[in-house]
Amino acid sequence: MDDASPPKWHLAHTTWFFETFILKSELSGYRSVDERYEYLFNSYYNGVGNPFPRPKRGYLSRPTVAEVMDYRESVDEQMETLLGSENPDVVSRVILGLNHEQQHQELLLTDLKYNFGNNPLYPVYRERAEENPAGSADMTFVSFDGGISAIGGPEGFGFDNEYPCHEVLLQPFALADRLVTNGEYLEFIQDGGYERAELWLSEGWATVLDDAWSHPLYWRAVEGEWFEYRLDGLSRLDPHLPVVHASAHEAFAYATWKGVRLPTEFEWERAAQDLDVEGTFVESGRYHPGHCPESGGLIRQMYGDVWQWTGSSYGPYPGYKTLPGTLGEYNGKFMSSQLVLRGASCATPRDHARLTYRNFFYPADRWQFSGIRLAKGLPE
Amino acid sequence: MDDASPPKWHLAHTTWFFETFILKSELSGYRSVDERYEYLFNSYYNGVGNPFPRPKRGYLSRPTVAEVMDYRESVDEQMETLLGSENPDVVSRVILGLNHEQQHQELLLTDLKYNFGNNPLYPVYRERAEENPAGSADMTFVSFDGGISAIGGPEGFGFDNEYPCHEVLLQPFALADRLVTNGEYLEFIQDGGYERAELWLSEGWATVLDDAWSHPLYWRAVEGEWFEYRLDGLSRLDPHLPVVHASAHEAFAYATWKGVRLPTEFEWERAAQDLDVEGTFVESGRYHPGHCPESGGLIRQMYGDVWQWTGSSYGPYPGYKTLPGTLGEYNGKFMSSQLVLRGASCATPRDHARLTYRNFFYPADRWQFSGIRLAKGLPE
Amino acid sequence: MDDASPPKWHLAHTTWFFETFILKSELSGYRSVDERYEYLFNSYYNGVGNPFPRPKRGYLSRPTVAEVMDYRESVDEQMETLLGSENPDVVSRVILGLNHEQQHQELLLTDLKYNFGNNPLYPVYRERAEENPAGSADMTFVSFDGGISAIGGPEGFGFDNEYPCHEVLLQPFALADRLVTNGEYLEFIQDGGYERAELWLSEGWATVLDDAWSHPLYWRAVEGEWFEYRLDGLSRLDPHLPVVHASAHEAFAYATWKGVRLPTEFEWERAAQDLDVEGTFVESGRYHPGHCPESGGLIRQMYGDVWQWTGSSYGPYPGYKTLPGTLGEYNGKFMSSQLVLRGASCATPRDHARLTYRNFFYPADRWQFSGIRLAKGLPE
Amino acid sequence: MDDASPPKWHLAHTTWFFETFILKSELSGYRSVDERYEYLFNSYYNGVGNPFPRPKRGYLSRPTVAEVMDYRESVDEQMETLLGSENPDVVSRVILGLNHEQQHQELLLTDLKYNFGNNPLYPVYRERAEENPAGSADMTFVSFDGGISAIGGPEGFGFDNEYPCHEVLLQPFALADRLVTNGEYLEFIQDGGYERAELWLSEGWATVLDDAWSHPLYWRAVEGEWFEYRLDGLSRLDPHLPVVHASAHEAFAYATWKGVRLPTEFEWERAAQDLDVEGTFVESGRYHPGHCPESGGLIRQMYGDVWQWTGSSYGPYPGYKTLPGTLGEYNGKFMSSQLVLRGASCATPRDHARLTYRNFFYPADRWQFSGIRLAKGLPE
C-alpha cells in the first residue's frame, strides 16, 4: 500500500529529522553520513527538496538495515552534544523530534501489521498476551450540557495544530461510555450493513463497491467463522474486544445504523476534560496485540485502546499559525479532506497520548488502530 | 469530464425528479412515458435503484432531444393536475422539485461552458453584453465583532442542510469588501504562485503537479497574452472582473500568498446578515457572460457574481435531519471531503440565491462559477 | 469506448483526408473551410501535427452536423476540379481517399452499433431484413497441399501493406468450409469456456477476468434466454447465424476447445485463391443487419458475413515499403501487437473486399464484425 | 516494476518447480515443507491454482531468506533420491527443471539490476572486470541467399516452442556482422531520435510520450555527460560496448533511422547455423558486468553479449504441441503480442544458450539485457 513504509525507512526517517532540522543548522561544519539520505528519507518536506516517492520506499534494498543503524548511531552521537543546549529553539526542536519519533513508533507498528496481515503466512510479530476481557457491559450514554468550552492549547508539549486555545459553543450532547465491540459490529454486518447504500456517505458507498469491502480490514472468514489478524497472529474474533481497523466511512455507517452519530472533536475533548486521565490510563493501558480490553471509569477507553473517529474535518483552529520555516509543513498543509481522530491506541507510546491531541487521516483509511465511539445530540 | 452532463440530460433529469418523487406516488395508475427513463435519468438516488453511470451520460445518443422534450411535456401536463393540491407533502415536494430544477439551470450552463471551453473552436453561447466595469477600487476589510450568531434555518424555502437554525461562537474577524479580481490573481501567477509548494495545501500541490495547473480553468495564453473563455467567446482577460473558475485549492493558495485566509461559512453568513440584500442584488445582478462586474454596497458582490469558497468543510448542522425516504439522499450523503461555497453566481437563477444557501464542491473542482473572497482574524 | 468515434467525426475525417492530402498540395491558393479542422479531424498523422485526442472526439458538440455537411460539400466541389486529372500521383491519392472513405463507411457502422448496443434503450438502426438461414450444415474441413504460394500484390488497388507479392512455404492444412455459428459458440459457453484458464492465451485470460467477459460483445441474457443486439434491434439469438463480435482471444479459446486452431493469413489467402469469388459474393452478399446467413460454395462465407481472425501477427511483407511522406503513416506504423483478419463483413462495402486485403485489430478488440473460421494442420 | 521479482522469490520459485512438478507426483506420501508455498511461489500456472499476484511478490517479508534456503535444502535432499531415476518422464522433467532454473538465474540478475539501477544510491553488485574493448570496427553486412531453411527442432534439449523442426522460405538477406554500439546509438539520440514520431511504431511512440523515454533504460545524464548503470556501478558510457536495455520499439526506431530493419527470427537462425558456435563462445564469452565487448568470427556477438530483438512475433511453429498437463502452460500461452529475441546475453548461463532458443518479451520491455542487430533485404 502506498501509505505504508518499511521499518527500515521509519528508522532512517526519524533520524533524518534530527539531522535535517537540528544538526545541519546547529553544528557548523556538520558533514552528513550520506548526502543522498537527505533525498531518500525526506517524507514530504518540499522545503528540503523533492522527496523520494512514497510508494517506492519499499523498493529500497539499500541502504541495508545495518547501514541505517550506523546512520542512527552517528546522528545520535552528534545529537548528544546538543542535548544540554539551553537555546530555546534547539530545545523545542529536540522535543519536536522526539514527539515525531514517537509518532513513527506507532506508524512502524501499523505499517508492519499491514505487511504481515496481507501475507498469506500471517506472521506472528509478538507472543500473545494474557487477556481477560471482562465481557462488555451494556453501552450507556453519558450526558453533557451545552455551553462554551475551551479547546486546545495544552500547557505541556503540543503540536502546532492544537493551538491556540479557543472557545467553542457546544449544544447539549451525550457520549457513549465505551467503544463499539467486535460483537456489536458483527451485528451490523449480519444486518446487511455492507449492502445498504442508505447507511453510507456517498464516498463511503463508492469505496464499498470499488474495493469490495465487507468487513474491517483484518477480519478473515475461514470456513464460516470469523478470525482477525492481530500482531500475535490470526485469532478467532473476540466479540468483547473493541472493533478496530474500521475506516471513518464504516464508523459513520455503523452510527447511522444505530440511529446515532459520531462525536465532534470538540465534544470528545469536552468529555475527556472531566476524566481522571491518569486513572483511566492505569486501567486501559495494557498494551495488547492489536487492541486492548476495556478499562474502568465513567467513560472508558478514551486512550490506549483505539483511536476514535470524530465527525470533524481536520482544519485550523481560529488564529492557527504554522511553525516557522520548513517545519511549517509538519501539520498545516494536510488540512483538507481528512477527519480528526481523538484518543490514542494501544500502539501509541503511552506518554504521547493527551487530551488535546489531534490525529488525522482520510475517511477511507483503516490501517491505523482506529475504532468507533458513538455520540448523540440532546434532547434526541 | 465525468462530472459534466449534456444539456439533454439535465432537461430529462429534472423532469424525472417530478415524475419519480411526485407523479408516481400521487397519481394512481400513473404510467411512465418510458420505464427505462427511471434508470437513465436517475442521478444518484440508490433508493430508486442503480443509476446509469454518470461518466456515460454523454454517450446516450438516444433518446433524442425531441423525445426528451416530449417527455417533459407529458410530465408537465400531469403535474398541472397536482399544482393546486393542498396536501402539504405534495406542496413541499413541488417546491423542492422547482428548486432542484433551478439548481440544474445553473449546472446546465456550467456543464455547457465546460464542453464549449474545451472545444478548440471556442463556440459562442450568447452575445456579448455591454460592460462597464468601473475599475476595481482598493480592497478593504470590514470588521465584525465576535460573539454568538444564529446560523441557518431560513424562514422561506431552504434545503435540509440549511437546518436547523443554531448558534455558533465566532471570534472577531474581517471580511474583504469585494471579490479578488483577475488582475490581482494575475499578480499571484506572476509571482510564481503555481510553482511555490509552500503556498498550497498538500492535496492542492499534488493537483498542480498531476494536472499541470498554471492558471484558472478557462484562461488561455495566446501569443504571450492572456485570454479567457467566456460564454460569449474567447475574450482578452479583463483585469477588473472577478477571477472565476478557481478551485478552493487556488483560493487557499492565493489567500496564503496574501497573508490572509478564506472566511468560514459562518463568518460569511454573519456578514451577509447585515446586508441590504435587495439593494445588493439590484446592483450586482446584471447577468453577464461568465462573470459580472462589481456592485455597490458596504460589502459588495456577495450574490450574483461568483460563488465564494469558504474554508468550511461541508457537514451537518447540530441536530441535522435528512428528508424522509429516498429524498433523504438529496444532500446529507455528500457530507465528506467537500467544502462549502456561499453566495450565488451570475448563472444562479436570481430568486434561488439566499442568505443561508450552502453550495458544496470538492476543493479541486473549478468548473462552477467559483471565485475568491478573502477574510482574516482580528486582531491580526 | 476510446476507439469509437461519432458519425459526424467520420464524415468530417474522410473529407479532411481529401483536403489534406490532395487539395492542399494540388490547388494553389487553396483556402481551408476552417483551419482548425486540420487539427480536429486528423486521426493519427503526426506528420500533419498533433491530432485531437481520439477519446475526446465524442465531446465535440461543435461543429454541428450541418457545418460538417457544409464542409463536405465545399471539399467535394473543389475535388471535382481534380477528378479528371491525369497526374498519376493525384489519381492514386484520389483512389486511396476513396478506399479510405470505404473503410470509414464500415467503421461508422461498427462505432454506431457500439453506441447503440450500449444504450439501455437498444435503438433500432434499420428495419429487420427477411432472413432464411437454411440451417447450418455440419462443418467439414477442406484439405490443401503444402508448398510454395504467392501471396499479396493485387493487380487492382491494394493498400501498401498488401505488397510486395512474395512467396511463402505452406505446410499441408485444412480449412473449415464455413464459419462457426452462434449455436456452436453457445456450446463452448455451456461447457464452461469462459471459466477454463487452460483454453485461453495468458493475455486473453487476463481480459476475461479484468473485464468479466462471459459471452460475445452484444449477447445479452434476458430472463434466462440469450438475445443479441443487432442493428435491427435486440433479437433472440439465432443459432444458425455466424457468431460475430468475438475477439481473437475468444476465437483462439474456441479453437483450442475444439482441438483445432485458427488459420494463418497465408492459409486463408491460399484457400481463397481457389474460390470463384464472384460467385461467392453473389450468394453471401446479402447485407443483413449485423451478420448474414451462409452462402454456397466449396468454402463458404469467405466474404460478406464477418471478418475472420487469423493467427498471424500483422507485420510487413518481405521488402515492404510504406507510401512516401505523411501517407506512409497509413498502415506501417501499426505493425505491432495486432493480428490480421481476412475476408470482409456484411458492413464492408461490397467492392472493397478482396483476396489480399489485410484488416488488423488488437486481439482483445471485438467491436468490429469479427467471427471465427477454424483450420488445422495435416496430417493432424 | 510489476515484472521484477526479488531474489528470494526466484530462489523459492525454482525450488517450487521441482517440488510441484516432480516430488509431489513421484514421491508417494511426500509432505510439503509448507503447503502455503504452493500458492506463494507459483508463477503463473493456473493448473496449480490461483497464483499469488506477481506485483506483490516484493511485499513478502516472510518467509525470510533463511527459511527459503531451508526450503531449497529440503527439496534438494528429496530430489537426490530421484536423480538416478531411469523413468524417462522423470528425467525429462528434471532436465526441464534445470533449464527453468537457468532461466531464473538470468532473471534474478536482471531483476536485481532493475532494483539497484532505480535506487539513487546505485549499489555495486560486483567488482569491475577488466575490459579491453578493441574499438568497434565498421559495421558490415554479411549476405545470405534465399531459399528453404530448416528451423528449430534441436537435437539436445529444447523447449516445446522450439519444435517441431520445419522448413521456411527465406528471401535473400544480409545480417550485420556485429551489434549496434552505445556510440552509434548516441548518434541516433543526438539526431533527435526520441523526438521524431515518423521513426517509431505507433505503440512505441505512445510509450515514448507516456513514459518520457529519451534514452535506454539505465543511461543517466550527469552534468552533461552520459553514464550508464551497470552491475559494477555507475560508469561513464563506453561508446564501444553494445547498446543494451533497449526495447524492441527503440531497436525498431534505430533501424528505421538507419534505413534498414531488424532480422526475422528465421534469418537470425539461418545465419547462426553457419557459425562455429563453440569458437564464437570462446571469444565472446567473457561475462562482463552488464554487457560484453565484441568477439571474433564472421558474424560476431551472436551469443553472450546481449539478446537481439527480431521483428518476429512470438507464435507457434507449424504443428506445435504444448507439453502435456499443467506444464503445457510453460510457453504456449504467451504467444500473443510478444516478439522473439535470439542469441543469449552475458547474464545467460553459458550452456543455456543455443541456436534454436526463442526468448520472448513485449516490445516495450527493456529490463532484460536486450540489444540491437541490424538486417536488410537483398537486393536493397
Kindly determine whether residue B61 and residue C36, on different chains, have CB atoms separated by under 8 Å: no
- C97 and C145 share a domain? no
Counted residue by residue, chain C has a size of 380
Digit-coded pLDDT (tens) for A124-170: 999 887 665 545 688 999 999 999 999 999 999 999 999 999 999 99
Q: Cβ contacts of residue A340 below 8 Å, gap of 6+?
A: A265, A310, A312, A313, A314, A358, A359, A360
Kindly determine whether residue D201 and residue C316, on different chains, have CB atoms separated by under 8 Å: no
**Each residue's pLDDT tens digit in chain C (380 positions)?**
889 999 999 999 999 999 999 999 999 999 988 999 999 999 999 998 889 999 999 999 999 999 999 999 999 999 999 999 999 999 999 999 999 999 999 999 999 999 999 999 999 999 887 665 545 688 999 999 999 999 999 999 999 999 999 999 999 999 999 999 999 999 999 999 999 999 999 999 999 999 999 999 999 999 999 999 999 999 999 999 999 999 999 999 999 999 999 999 999 999 998 775 443 433 333 333 333 333 334 788 898 899 999 999 999 999 999 999 999 999 999 999 999 999 999 999 988 999 999 999 999 999 999 999 999 999 87
- Examine residue B132 and state whether it is found in any structural domain, yes or no: no
- B196 and B307 share a domain? yes
Using CB atoms, list chains with 3+ pairs below 8 Å to chain D. A, C
d(CA C54, CA B75) in angstroms, rounded, equals: 38
Listed by number, the residues of chain B in 288-317 with a beta carbon closer than 8 Å to a beta carbon of chain A are 311-313, 315-316
The CA-to-CA distance between both ends of chain C, in Å, stands at 41
Residue B343: closest CA among B147, B164, B176: B176
Listed by number, the residues of chain C in 225-284 with a beta carbon closer than 8 Å to a beta carbon of chain D are 248-249, 252, 261
- A195 and A55 share a domain? no
Q: What is the largest CA-CA distance in chain D?
A: 66
Digit-coded pLDDT (tens) for B298-310: 788 898 899 999 9
The mean per-residue pLDDT over the stretch D47-55 comes to 91
pLDDT of residue B298: 72
pLDDT over 90 (residue B20): yes
pLDDT of residue B130: 65
Q: How many CB atoms lie within 10 A of CB C300?
A: 18
Lowest mean pLDDT among B271-285, B365-379, D184-198, D346-360: B271-285
What's the CATH number where D249 sits? Answer: 3.90.1580.10
pLDDT over 60 (residue B294): no
pLDDT of residue D352: 93
Digit-coded pLDDT (tens) for D312-331: 999 999 999 999 999 999 99
Residues of chain A scoring pLDDT < 50: 134, 277-297
Say whether residue A319 is in contact with chain B using an 8 A CB cutoff: yes
- D193 and D242 share a domain? yes
Q: Cβ contacts of residue D177 below 8 Å, gap of 6+?
A: D139, D140, D141, D142, D298, D299, D300
pLDDT over 50 (residue B19): yes
pLDDT of residue D284: 38
User: In this structure, what DSSP letter does residue D58 have?
Assistant: G
- Examine residue D122 and state whether it is found in any structural domain, yes or no: no
- B158 and B214 share a domain? yes
- Examine residue B69 and state whether it is found in any structural domain, yes or no: yes
d(CA A50, CA A47) in angstroms, rounded, equals: 8
Q: How many CB atoms lie within 10 A of CB A339?
A: 28
User: In this structure, what DSSP letter does residue B342 have?
Assistant: E
pLDDT over 90 (residue B327): yes
Q: Which residues of A touch D40 (CB under 8 A)?
A: 120-121
Q: Which residues of A touch B318 (CB under 8 A)?
A: 171, 377
- D155 and D211 share a domain? yes
Single residue among D82, D117, D152 that ends a domain in this structure: D117
Say whether residue A121 is in contact with chain D using an 8 A CB cutoff: yes
Confidence of residue D136 (pLDDT cuts 50, 70, 90): low
Chain B contact probe: residue of C61, C71, C124 with most B CBs at under 10 A: C61
- Nearest residue of A to residue B248, measured between CA atoms: A336
Q: What is the DSSP string of A157-170?
A: ---GGG-S-EEEEE
Instruction: Write down the residue that cell numbers 465545399 correspond to.
Output: C74
* Signed CA dihedral, A12, A13, A14, A20: sign only: positive
Say whether residue C197 is in contact with chain D using an 8 A CB cutoff: yes
Q: How would you class A319 by CB atoms within 10 Å of its CB: exposed for 0-12, middle for 13-18, buried for 19 or more?
A: middle
Using CB atoms, list chains with 3+ pairs below 8 Å to chain B. A, C
- A349 and A215 share a domain? yes
- How many C-D residue pairs are in contact by the CB < 8 A criterion? 79
- Examine residue A130 and state whether it is found in any structural domain, yes or no: no
Confidence of residue D135 (pLDDT cuts 50, 70, 90): low
- Nearest residue of C to residue B114, measured between CA atoms: C59
Q: How large is the ipTM?
A: 0.93
Which residue segment(s) compose the domain that C100 sits in? 7-117
- Examine residue A127 and state whether it is found in any structural domain, yes or no: no
Say whether residue B335 is in contact with chain A using an 8 A CB cutoff: yes
- How many domains are contained in chain C? 2
Q: Return the SS3 of C104.
A: helix
Single residue among C67, C85, C117 that ends a domain in this structure: C117
pTM assigned to the model: 0.94
- C154 and C103 share a domain? no
Q: Return the SS3 of B375.
A: strand
Q: Which residues of A touch D63 (CB under 8 A)?
A: 121
- A279 and A169 share a domain? yes
- Examine residue D130 and state whether it is found in any structural domain, yes or no: no
Say whether residue C50 is in contact with chain B using an 8 A CB cutoff: no
- Examine residue A373 and state whether it is found in any structural domain, yes or no: yes
- D159 and D233 share a domain? yes
Residue B246: closest CA among B129, B349, B341, B125: B341
Say whether residue B202 is in contact with chain A using an 8 A CB cutoff: yes
Q: Which residues of D touch C313 (CB under 8 A)?
A: 313, 315
pLDDT of residue A193: 98
d(CA C100, CA C329) in angstroms, rounded, equals: 13
Q: How would you class A31 by CB atoms within 10 Å of its CB: exposed for 0-12, middle for 13-18, buried for 19 or more?
A: exposed
Tally the C-alpha atoms within 13 A of residue B228's C-alpha that lie toward its C-beta.
21
- B341 and B268 share a domain? yes
Chain A contact probe: residue of B336, B365, B378, B380 with most A CBs at under 10 A: B336
Chain D contact probe: residue of A8, A32, A61, A111 with most D CBs at under 10 A: A61
Instruction: Write down the residue that cell numbers 434555518 correspond to.
Output: B153
- Examine residue A122 and state whether it is found in any structural domain, yes or no: no
Mean residue pLDDT of chain B comes to: 91
Single residue among A61, A85, A117 that ends a domain in this structure: A117
Percent of all residues in chain B with a pLDDT value above 90, rounded to a whole number? 84
Q: Which residues of A touch B198 (CB under 8 A)?
A: 46-47, 328-329
For chains D and C, having 3+ Cβ pairs within 8 Å is answered yes
Percent of all residues in chain B with a pLDDT value above 70, rounded to a whole number? 92
Digit-coded pLDDT (tens) for D73-89: 999 999 999 999 999 99
- D228 and D110 share a domain? no
The mean per-residue pLDDT over the stretch B60-71 comes to 97
